[in-house]
Amino acid sequence: MSVNIGIDDLPIRDELRGKSPYGAPQLDVPVRLNTNENPYPLPEPLVERIAERVREAARTLNRYPDRDAVELRTELAAYLTRTTGHQVGTANVWAANGSNEVIQQLLQTFAGPGRLAIGFEPSYSMHGLIARGTGTGWISGPRNDDFTIDVAAATAAIAAHRPDVVFITSPNNPTGTAVEAETVLALYEAAQAAKPSLVVVDEAYVEFSHRPSLLSLIEGRPHLVVSRTMSKAFGAAGLRLGYLAAHPAVVDAVQLVRLPYHLSAVTQATALAALEHTDTLLGYVEQLKTERDRLVTELRALGYEVTESDANFVQFGRFTGEGAAHAVWRKILDRGVLVRDNGVPGWLRVTAGTPRENDAFLDAVRALKKEQT
């Protein structure tokens, strides 16, 4: 017999009552530019290589995978060293199922019940949601009107709240803004003086940036962590592979909370195959950067305000009036293009797609402009 009850009738944790799960709409429309995915499918030679590697892994699936993912961490370290010029070793790198899991493990290790994390919003909403899921208190820190971090206000918030974990997202999602190294250093100093706390620089989109990675800042700063993902530049969002670089002691610390054998043999094999094709995949990144810059130029030419973008997406507006951004989102959707309304008042976000997808988006907003005149 089925009993008609809802979530709130269950004995869930009090802080989860009345809350909504993460939920970017997954709608079946011709052009989907709403979740910052890479629009290019993996190239065929890589698909073949994945099949080979996974076939090999399948032969020993009766055994648990390498719990420490040593081969994968070594290749990720080599990738970071090669692309940033900063020497990183296997002991500096940790990998998990998406950078979301990396962030969860960091919060489970360094925050949790009775502790606090801070982020500077608008930013990646999952930082706050994962904080909640791990029982960590969440502080929403401020930003300037141009969406850069207000250093004075941010350091004051850190001094006042003394958080255990500080999130800095560069380039930031949903705004696209990159963070200067001096800003990270100022916030790091403030965080060390206040607690000391762990500073997490989320570089999910850094391969698309005009500026170099902030990775070298981990040198001599054992409380600084850089998190990365293969979901964006590597075009492998479906793989679920994220990683971090930090002092080896941080890598040792997250072992205290990671589930045994958290990274399947199939995931490790697939990620290793993708890393063999880094050069091809980074070639797509260059095309996407060109398309991102074209979106910025064309949107500005149409009279939209556009936030400086170092990512594979662009924030545009400004739509004034209650619900105005959402009304524009709906009109763009009516023309078969799904963009993202992140709830930032007056702004929408569009992911750079293929040239054809971007043309479809630009045609849609052009038609809207015409309607208005």
- Chain residues binding ligand PLP by CB under 6 A are 36, 98-100, 124, 169, 173, 202, 204, 229, 231, 237, 242
The pair of three-digit structure tokens given for residue 163, joined into one six-digit string: 């958080």
CB of 279 to ligand PLP, least distance (A): 21
CB of 126 to ligand PLP, least distance (A): 6
Residue with tokens 């936030």: 307
**Residue nearest ligand PLP, Cβ-based:** 98
CB of 6 to ligand PLP, least distance (A): 28
CB of 315 to ligand PLP, least distance (A): 13
Between 155 and 173, name the residue whose CB sits nearer to ligand PLP: 173
CB of 195 to ligand PLP, least distance (A): 23
Residues in the chain: 373
Burial 268-304 (b: 16+ CB within 10 A, else e): bbbbbbbbebbeebeebbeebbebbebbbebbeeeeb
Between 195 and 289, name the residue whose CB sits nearer to ligand PLP: 289
Burial 102-129 (b: 16+ CB within 10 A, else e): bbbbbbbbbbbeebbbbbbbbbbbbbbb
Between 131 and 362, name the residue whose CB sits nearer to ligand PLP: 131
Helix (H, G, I), strand (E, B) or coil at 82: helix
Between 154 and 168, name the residue whose CB sits nearer to ligand PLP: 168
CB of 98 to ligand PLP, least distance (A): 3
Helix (H, G, I), strand (E, B) or coil at 308: coil
Q: How many helices (H) and strands (E) does the chain have?
A: 11, 12
How many whole angstroms separate alpha carbon 298 and alpha carbon 350?
Answer: 13
Between 38 and 100, name the residue whose CB sits nearer to ligand PLP: 100
Between 72 and 362, name the residue whose CB sits nearer to ligand PLP: 72
